[in-house]
Amino acid sequence: MVTITPAMITSEFKDIKRGFVCGDSKQDHLQEAESLQAKAIIIQHSGLIQNGYTLVLDYDTSRIAFKFTEITSKIDRKTNKKHELKPKFIKT
């Protein structure tokens, strides 16, 4: 199981409900993102995750492929501090 959380969210999570579409209110319409920076929490995975790895995320009724283009750091879950920059791979 993999959880993806977009980085730098400014809204309160409690204000975002199931089915909401979020975007910048100053733009006319939402656009598809070509890339994004996210914090991925890997709970259980067999094998290694490295740059170039593609995972499939089932979100509501959608199935979305995500590709790790660059793993920037590993974060200690207890302290929430970076403990390895630009690791070659991540494993659980």
Domains and CATH numbers, the chain: 1-6+37-92 (2.40.30.10)
φ/ψ (deg, to 5) at 55 = -115, 155
Q: Is the pTM of this model over 0.95?
A: no
Q: So what's the pLDDT on residue 78? A: 87
pLDDT above 70 (res 71): yes
Per residue in 18-65, pLDDT (tens digit) is 777 776 677 767 677 788 888 888 888 888 999 999 988 887 788 888
Of 20, 13, 12, 7, give the one whose Cα is nearest residue 59. Answer: 20
φ/ψ (deg, to 5) at 57 = -105, 125
